[in-house]
Each structure stands twice: as structure tokens, then as C-alpha cells.
Amino acid sequence: MSSSPKSKTSSASAADEPAPRRWSAGWRWAHLLLCGAGGFAQCLGFAGFSLWPFALFCFLPMMWVLDRELGLWPREGEPVDPASTKRVLALGLFHGFVGYTGGYYWLYTFLETFSGFGPLPSVGFASIFWLYQGGQQMLIYWLYARARRRGWAVTPAAVAALLALELVYPVLFPAYLASGFHEVPLFLQVADLGGPMLLSGVVMGVNAGVYVALRTWKLGLPWPKKTLAAIAFAVLFTLGYGAWRIAEVDGRVAEASMATVGTVQVDMGIFAKREEPYEGHRRHLSQSRRLEAREDLDLLVWPESAYTFFLPDGMTDVSRRVLQGIDAPTLFGGLARREVDGDWRHYNTAYLTDTDGQVLATYDKTYLLAFGEYLPFGETFPILYEWSPNSGHFTPGDHVRPLILERPEDETLRISTLICYEDVLPGFTRAAVREAEPNLLVNITNDAWFGDTHEPWIHLALAKFRAVEHHRALVRSTNSGVTAFVDPVGRTLGTIDVGERDELSAELPLLDSPTLYQWVGDWPGYLSLILIVLMAFVRRREPEAVSAS
């Protein structure tokens, strides 16, 4: 049976239609490596390396590669078969895996040294963690690609995808694009308006602005003046607000009540503390007496688990057992054992004492660190504790009330105490500040598990944001570094570096005025979550082959 003229014409038309050009294997690998380079730049721009300029362009490879592979950067005569979802996810995962392997390399040291795993299991568990954390970037790529496919511009798609994932992606160690800017207080001050996510949004906006400008120039498109003006305004507002806020807070500090706070760093390794507990206690006592001889202290702070023996429940006088002649009111980390429902439970506890060594109040750590203080599923599968004998078996606390120290003829010290990694959690710290209304933040921690790596410096960098978000001075007392004092605008007033044994003191202002972030929290993340859902799943624009912005 012969074909009709119409079908012949249709067949001819289809035959004349150029087949979609697929990227060659070489280009596909090149694009993958470019995304890996973006992850490496993000790692360099993160706290640790703290080379913050890298954070300003670390997502450029994502924008260029995805626009090319989605067919949104056309070249005449070269139609492109748009990248599949699987391809987009692979590009994003590689970006994230490279970034987190470089930024969190110290997790291998932690697993091998502290949890008792051998080299191969440690590499395996660390790789699972790096892949899991890299899933955050994978989902950023995916959401950004969906929004771009639907015709949305680069800048809103990139900023909304980033902040939505910074908000909702569950991570063991929080990581914000803004974190690398911790040494530039001028940038940090917007954190009192919207937390670290607000600064992350500005940084991603710069990434998008640079990309849009390059794309516009390369393709000869009309300049997207409104988009570039909005990004420039965000940067100028960040810097201008930072300058104003620093001056405003410094003015309040000049008129505030002050407290002289001292702390000691005894520098004992994680196993040395267990094998020589009396030596650790002796060092705390001798260094504290040396510090007291130089300074009239309003408060002395010892780090997490400074006293490594369990204190019985209800003990109110620790003058002989713990402090042994220390005169200053002391906040120290210890271990508590209490009977609950017929079972003995252990707590990672902070104790506040007065000048006579009487316990005024305690705080039990609420947010426990997985693998360090407990094992996930350890209660269900007790054998896990046999496999990881160095992991703790602690019970979380149930409140974030302040530790209160009355000072004669002076302002009362109201302390929000954050133990270990609680100080890197903006939401947790915000809840504590809202309940306690403190005038001082104190973090007691022990980062000896990680040795002389980037982790102690990352921990300090992330903690600085808590001081800025609430404009309270922050004391960080650590066992082996980095011990530090941070002022209410995020400037570091003094440090004891990793591996050093020393004492440190400073006069700190007691501020307690609320901030916008204290009341409204992570609104940039919630707003971005709504926007990216609309852009990627609900609202749809007519896709444009080329968009300047």
C-alpha cells in the first residue's frame, strides 16, 4: 500500500529535522570536573580555610554547566538534548562530595581516633558522611535546574534553592555559605536580622550577579539592569548596615556593665584525660590559681568535662572535691549520674558555683553529638557500643534555663550555657536566648577528638555567628583549643590556639537587648522554601531559550 503525499511530507520533514546534539563523553567529563571545581572553591571559602572570596564564585560552574546542559545557553546550529534529572543529581552530588571531603577531612581522624574504628571502616564511614552532606548540593542543583527549566531567572532560582536547603536539609555539622566570612565583621552584622542564611543569600546573589554579567556579555544580550541593581543594593546594604550596627553596638558596650571572665586551657588529649584524670584536675587547679593571682575574676570558666569524675545527684558543695581553694565563682563542665525510673543515667553537665563552692545551678547538655556522646540506634542495638567502645552513652537534658549568678552591687550574670556543638546551632541557641534572656553566652567544649586539624577553628568560626545574632559576648572555654573570647559584633578578643596550655581573661560587656533574629528566626529560609516550591513545582512561566537574568 502506497503512502499518502501527506505522510511522505511529514516523513521528509522529520528526516530534515536535525537530531538533538548530545554532549560528547569528553564534554560530559569536563562539566563534571567543573562542578567538582565549584565544590573545591566552596570548600576553600568555608570556615577552616576561610578564604572567603572563593565563596563569591563557587556556584558559577553550576550555573554555567546546567544552563549549557539544559539548553539555556544556545549556540547556533547546535541543538542540545537537555540533561536528565539523573545527570543533574550526579553533577550536584559530585560538587558536594568534593566540597565536604575537603572541608570535613578531619572526620576521618575523629572516627579512627575517638570511635575506635580501623582505617578502612573510618574511610568508609567518613565517605558515607561526605556523600550524605553532599546531598545538600545535589538537591540545590536539582531545584535550581527545575526552576530554570520552567523559565525562572538565575538569581531567584539560585538564592531560593540554596536557602531552602540550608533550612531543611538535616545535617550533623551545619554548613552555611556565609560561614567563611567570620573574620569580616562588616559582613556579619546582617545575621541579627535573619541569621547566617541572610548573608548566605547575599553571597549566592553575588555568584548569580557575576554569572549573569558574564553570560550577558558573552551572548550579547541586553543588560538586566534591574537584576544587577538588586544584587548591588543587597551588597551595599550588607556593608552599610554592618558599619552602622558595629558603631551602634560599640556605643552600648561603652555604657554597659562589665564582667571580668577568665578561663584556662590545660591541653590534654582525649585519652590522656581518661588515663590521667587527676593530672587534668591538677592542671585546672594550678592554672586557675595562677590566673586568680593576676586577675580579680567575676567568673572563672573551665571547659566541658573538666572534672572527669561523676558527681552524685543532689551534691551542693563542691568546694573540697572539685574547686579546692578556688575563690572565684566558677562554671565548670562535669559528669552527673542520676537514677531515673530505676535506671542510672549519665549526663554531660555544666555546674555554676558561688565563691564558697556551693552549686547554684546546673545545665545538662540537650543536643548530644552522634558517635561522640551516643550512638544512633545504640539503644535498639546495644552491640553497637561493643563495636565502638570509645563512644559515650549519655542522656540528653530537658531544659535551656539560664545559670544565674548574683553579683553584689553589680548586674546579675544570666548565662546561657552551650555545651560542645550546641553553639553551632542557631535555632537551638535562639531558643535558649528567648527563654533565658541572658547577658552572657558561654560555650564549654572539648575538641581534642579532632587533633590539630581545621575542626577547632571551624567550631570557633561557626560559634561567632551566635554572638552576632544576639549581640552578646561569647566565652569559649576548651580543653585543647581554640579557647576564645568573642565580642557582641563577632570580633575575636583573644585566643589560646590548638595544642597550647595557657590562661586567658577579658572584660566582657553584659548586653541583653533583643534582636530581630531572636524574635523571627530563619525567615530567609522559610521565604525561600515557599519561593522554590512555587518556582520548581507549582507556578510555571513560559520557558525562554535565553534570559539575561
pLDDT of residue 2: 45
Looking at residue 294, its amino acid is R
Looking at residue 287, its amino acid is Q
Bond before 489 cis per omega within 30 degrees: no
pTM of the model: 0.90
Helix (H) or strand (E) holding 367: none
Contacts of 345 (CB under 8 A, 6+ apart): 337, 338, 339, 395
pLDDT band at 20 (very low <50, low <70, confident <90, very high): low
pLDDT of residue 378: 56
pLDDT band at 313 (very low <50, low <70, confident <90, very high): confident
pLDDT of residue 117: 73
pLDDT 10s digits, 462-487: 999 999 999 999 999 999 989 999 99
pLDDT of residue 3: 46
Same domain, 239 and 277: no
Same domain, 231 and 326: no
Same domain, 161 and 266: no
pLDDT 10s digits, 63-103: 999 999 998 886 655 556 788 999 999 999 999 999 999 99
Same domain, 318 and 184: no
> Angle formed by the axes of helices 225-255 and 154-168, to 10°?
40
Assigned domain for 4 exists: no
Strands, E assignment, 287-439: 299-301, 310-312, 330-340, 343-353, 359-364, 403-405, 413-419
* Cell numbers at 427, concatenated: 535555632
419: domain CATH number is: 3.60.110.10
Same domain, 505 and 527: no
Same domain, 141 and 90: yes
Rounded distance, CA 188 to CA 199, Å? 7
Same domain, 338 and 219: no
Percent of the chain with pLDDT over 70: 88
pLDDT band at 1 (very low <50, low <70, confident <90, very high): very low
Same domain, 451 and 327: yes
Sheet of 413-419, strand order: 403-405, 413-419, 440-445, 474-478, 483-486, 492-496
Q: Cα dihedral sign for 318, 420, 303, 263?
A: negative
Assigned domain for 361 exists: yes
pLDDT of residue 205: 98
Same domain, 225 and 307: no
Q: How many domains are contained in the chain?
A: 2
Assigned domain for 381 exists: no
| Position 317 pLDDT exceeds 80 | yes
Residue 451 region by backbone torsions, left for phi larger than 0, else alpha for psi between -120 and 50, else beta: left
Report whether 180 contacts 47 (CB < 8 A): yes
Q: How distant is the alpha carbon of residue 426 from its chain centre?
A: 8
pLDDT band at 25 (very low <50, low <70, confident <90, very high): confident
**Which has the minimum average pLDDT: 272-276, 347-351, 433-437, 501-505?**
272-276
> What one-character-per-residue DSSP string does 434-470 give?
HHH--SEEEEEE--GGG-SSSHHHHHHHHHHHHHHHH
Same domain, 469 and 495: yes
pLDDT of residue 212: 96
pLDDT 10s digits, 227-262: 999 999 999 999 999 999 999 999 999 999 999 999
Looking at residue 345, its amino acid is R
pLDDT 10s digits, 369-380: 766 666 565 565
Average pLDDT of the chain to the nearest whole number: 89
pLDDT band at 545 (very low <50, low <70, confident <90, very high): very low
Rounded distance, CA 64 to CA 375, Å? 42
Same domain, 196 and 325: no
DSSP bridge partners of 263 = 301, 504
Assigned domain for 5 exists: no
Rounded distance, CA 517 to CA 430, Å? 8
pLDDT 10s digits, 196-221: 999 999 999 999 999 999 999 988 88
Domain extent at residue 346? 258-366+399-510
Rounded distance, CA 505 to CA 537, Å? 54
Assigned domain for 187 exists: yes
- Taking CA 364 as the corner, what is the angle to CA 257 and CA 117, rounded to the nearest 5 degrees? 120
Average pLDDT of the segment spanning 328-349: 86
pLDDT 10s digits, 522-533: 999 999 999 999
pLDDT of residue 390: 58
Same domain, 232 and 262: no
pLDDT 10s digits, 173-194: 788 999 999 999 999 999 999 9
Assigned domain for 30 exists: yes
pLDDT of residue 154: 96
Burial 259-287 (b: 16+ CB within 10 A, else e): bebbbbbbbbbbeebeeeeeebbebbbeb
Which of 366, 397, 392, 367 minimizes the C-alpha distance to 378? 392
Assigned domain for 266 exists: yes
Q: Counting every residue, how long is the chain? A: 549
Report whether 305 contacts 446 (CB < 8 A): yes
Give counts: helices (H), strands (E), the chain. 17, 13
Assigned domain for 317 exists: yes
Report whether 389 contacts 378 (CB < 8 A): no
